[in-house]
Amino acid sequence: MDFIFQGFIKALELLTGGDDSIWSAIFATIKVSTGSMIISTIAGLPCGFCLGYFNFRGKRALRTVVDTLLSLPTVFVGLMVYAFISSQGPLGELGLLFTLTGVAIGQSILAFPVVTALTAAAIEGVDSQLKLTLISLGAGKKEIILTTLWEVRFAIVAAIVTAYGRVMTEVGISMMVGGNIKWHTRTITTAIALETGKGMFANGIALGLVLLAIAFGVNLSLAFLRKK
């Protein structure tokens, strides 16, 4: 157990000492995960609302597909994105392979079904009498949609936080699409895998502590919003 304790001590020293390689991975992770969440949220919220609010032919089948994609393997997403943006792929000329932009695209694909499915579930859980009440009060379509979204605002935020946690902790996409290039595309999760494999246990713990701190900060923010 001594090496674990010493690892934590060394990890705190690395963090407080401002180790450049560790902070490079941290900033890369925050940058790529935030970018992917912006994309997946902009695309996922409208899709989730439509899937949960409207009734149309094939809705049940589409909902089943979206729910199935919640368990989409990260390595499969990484493989598909790699195939499309590699030099032999249809998007190879864009030069997205081994870049944070390419990783963000893969993570957006991973987060999209999470935002969509959880938003749809939240919309479906709204009281069926809400729409009738709003119509009786003279509300238009815009007011009905906005009021419905306001009623499920906490569930939507929770969906975004859940998706954020999914992309923050994934390894397959970052490793395959980003290439784990130091100072460039190395993220916290890929750095942890690499440093631990090299026997640099303290570096792995330091990065793990940062990952926990980010997750704690996001959930603390969610709790603050709920209180407000």
Instruction: Give me 87's structure tokens.
Output: 């030099």
> Alpha-carbon distance 185 to 175, whole Å?
9
What mean pLDDT do residues 120-142 have?
Answer: 82
The CATH code of the domain that includes 67 is: 1.10.3720.10
What mean pLDDT do residues 126-139 have?
Answer: 78
Q: Per the structure, how many domains does the chain have? A: 1
* 11 within some domain: no
* 1 within some domain: no
Query: Is residue 14 very low, low, confident or very high in pLDDT (cuts 50, 70, 90)?
Result: low
Which pLDDT score is estimated for 63?
A: 92
* 151 within some domain: yes
* 166 within some domain: yes
Q: Residue 143 pLDDT more than 90?
A: no
* 34 within some domain: yes
> Alpha-carbon distance 215 to 163, whole Å?
12
Q: Residue 96: give the domain boundaries.
A: 21-227
> Alpha-carbon distance 164 to 36, whole Å?
9
Contacting residues for 28 by C-beta, under 8 A, at least 6 apart: 100, 184, 185, 186, 187
Query: Is residue 223 very low, low, confident or very high in pLDDT (cuts 50, 70, 90)?
Result: confident
* 127 within some domain: yes
Instruction: Give me 9's structure tokens.
Output: 């001590």
Q: Residue 3 pLDDT more than 80?
A: no
> Alpha-carbon distance 56 to 34, whole Å?
33
Q: Which tens digits make up the pLDDT trace of 168-218?
A: 889 889 999 998 888 888 898 888 888 777 777 777 777 888 888 888 887
* 59 within some domain: yes
What mean pLDDT do residues 80-98 have?
Answer: 91
* 169 within some domain: yes
Q: Would the pTM count as exceeding 0.95?
A: no
Q: Which tens digits make up the pLDDT trace of 197-207?
A: 777 777 777 78
Inter-residue contact 106 to 187 (CB < 8 Å): no
Q: Residue 109 pLDDT more than 90?
A: yes
- In the three-class reduction of DSSP (H, G, I as helix; E, B as strand; rest coil), residue 6 is classed as helix
Percent of the chain with pLDDT over 70: 91
